[in-house]
């Protein structure tokens, strides 16, 4: 099950998407993994325990993706707005990201996962974390079983602004080539957990024709059954892309 690059011969409005007339599960899925902090507070745990639990669920659902026919999974791990959180939480998250990338990349590599990180890699992102992200991408670059895109220090508006700075073309496909990961597919389906119903500056360009599923579970409680139900909800819809 290979994660192929976007087809450049497609119309600009549907580039990188898969058509669905009902009955087909999505191949490209993005998730807003919301609710880690609330999950921890409900259990009297420190907020970083919630983030660790959420990272475990990302890995579990990634493995489910392989079973369920998903070729590319994109997860929202840290937004450009998350720097506003407490210094303690942010520092803990940075350390957690370094630790988990170092520990889990060899394992994911053995499982055929290709890793990509999308977002700004400039300060205030720690240099050690930037180096570890590049290391993980290099190690897994040749893998084709499934692609995991991690949106880190990511904002949809920031991505569009950064692309616009170097854009000199005239078409949507020209513009796409300036995004953080031009070969990343537009998500067929965007899932958000925790009961919130908004995009929160996530994949604003890529999500133009995505279907949405909103779930009440906090992210650490998002089981395989919840995931399959979300995929089935997508499969029951018909995507028209502006047609009839």
Segments making up each domain of the chain, as ranges: 22-235
Give every CB contact of residue 76 below 8 A, 6+ residues apart in sequence.
Answer: 30, 31, 32, 33, 151, 154, 200, 202
Active site annotation includes 34:
yes
Q: What is the pLDDT of residue 21?
A: 62
Give every CB contact of residue 203 below 8 A, 6+ residues apart in sequence.
Answer: 30, 74, 151, 156, 187, 190, 210
Give every CB contact of residue 142 below 8 A, 6+ residues apart in sequence.
Answer: 114
Catalytic, out of 20, 34, 36, 153: 34
| CA nearest to 181, candidates 227, 124, 141, 231 | 141
Q: What is the pLDDT of residue 239?
A: 78
Active site annotation includes 82:
yes
Q: What is the pLDDT of residue 17?
A: 54
Q: Which stretches of the chain are assigned E, i.e. beta strand?
A: 28-32, 72-79, 113-118, 146-154, 189-192, 211-214
Catalytic, out of 64, 82, 162, 201: 82
Q: What is the pLDDT of residue 20?
A: 57
Which residue is associated with the tokens 């369920």? 68
Q: What is the pLDDT of residue 19?
A: 56
Q: What is the pLDDT of residue 7?
A: 31
Cα–Cα distance, 128 to 161 (Å, whole number): 26
CATH topology of domain 22-235: Undecaprenyl pyrophosphate synthetase (3.40.1180)
Q: How far is the first Cα of the chain from the last one, in angstroms, to the nearest whole number?
A: 31
Can you tell me whether residue 186 is helix, strand or coil?
Answer: coil
Q: What is the mean pLDDT of each run of 10 residues along the chain (244 residues)?
A: 31 47 88 98 98 98 98 98 97 98 98 98 96 98 98 98 96 97 98 97 98 98 98 91 65
Cα–Cα distance, 5 to 134 (Å, whole number): 19
Burial class of 32 by CB neighbour count within 10 A (0 to 12, 13 to 18, 19+) = buried
This model's pTM is above 0.85: yes
């Amino acid at each position: 099950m290979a994660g192929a690059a976007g087809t450049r011969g497609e119309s600009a409005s549907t580039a990188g998407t898969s058509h669905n007339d009902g009955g087909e599960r999505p191949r490209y899925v993005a998730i807003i993994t919301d609710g880690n902090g609330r999950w921890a507070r409900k259990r009297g745990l420190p907020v970083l325990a919630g983030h660790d639990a959420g990272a475990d669920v990302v890995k579990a659902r990634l493995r489910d993706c392989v079973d369920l026919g998903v070729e590319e999974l994109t997860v929202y791990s840290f937004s450009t707005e998350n720097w506003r959180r407490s210094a303690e939480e942010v520092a803990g998250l940075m350390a957690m990201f370094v630790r988990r990338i170092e520990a889990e990349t060899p394992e994911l590599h053995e499982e055929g996962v290709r890793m990509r990180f999308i977002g700004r890699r400039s300060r205030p992102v720690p240099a050690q974390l930037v180096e570890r992200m590049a290391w993980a991408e290099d190690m897994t670059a040749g893998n084709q079983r499934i692609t995991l895109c991690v949106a880190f220090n990511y904002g949809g508006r920031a991505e569009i602004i950064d692309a616009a700075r170097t854009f000199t073309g005239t078409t949507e496909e020209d513009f796409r080539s300036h995004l953080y990961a031009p070969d990343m597919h537009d998500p067929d389906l965007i899932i958000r957990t925790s009961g919130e119903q908004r995009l929160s500056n996530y994949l604003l360009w890529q999500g133009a024709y995505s279907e949405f599923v909103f779930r009440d579970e906090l992210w650490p409680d998002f089981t395989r059954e919840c995931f399959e139900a979300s995929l089935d909800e997508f499969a029951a819809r018909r995507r028209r892309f502006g047609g009839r």
